[in-house]
Amino acid sequence: MPRAKVVPLPVTGRHHINAYLLLGRRPVIVDAGTPGSGRKIYEQVADHGVDPADVSLIVLTHGHIDHFGSAAELHRLTGAPVAGHVADLGPYRSGRAREP
């Protein structure tokens, strides 16, 4: 099985990466950046030669707003389902990060 390639997708500057593109059998976006960054992530996916409509899944690693903030927007743009941990469902639904 070929190895997946991990492509950082900077959202808030070159050193603040909170989204990744996994290139393997099917492309996957890991984390969705800050609110309002969905279009930027979408365009970076396309810039790496991937049709955003081919994204098979958007995986959210945890309920911090800088990692799930554009999940709904990316879902609308790509049509890909969003997967995250059930314990973070409250922040995902409310659009607000939970307190530490």
Rounded to whole angstroms, what are the CA distances from 44 to 7, 89, 94, 99?
Answer: 10, 27, 27, 31
For the chain, domain boundaries: 18-89
Say how far apart CA 3 and CA 62 lie, in whole Å: 24
- pLDDT of 47: 97
Query: What local confidence, expressed as pLDDT, does residue 16 receive?
Result: 75
Query: What is this structure's pTM?
Result: 0.90
- C-alpha distance from residue 25 to each of 5, 28, 32, 54 (Å): 10, 9, 20, 11
Mean pLDDT of each 10-residue bin along the chain, 100 residues long: 86 81 97 94 97 98 92 95 92 72
- What pLDDT score was predicted for residue 26? 97
Q: What is the pLDDT of residue 43?
A: 97
Dump strand ranges (E) for the chain: 5-10, 17-23, 28-30, 57-59, 82-83
At 28, give phi and psi (nearest 5°).
Answer: -135, 140
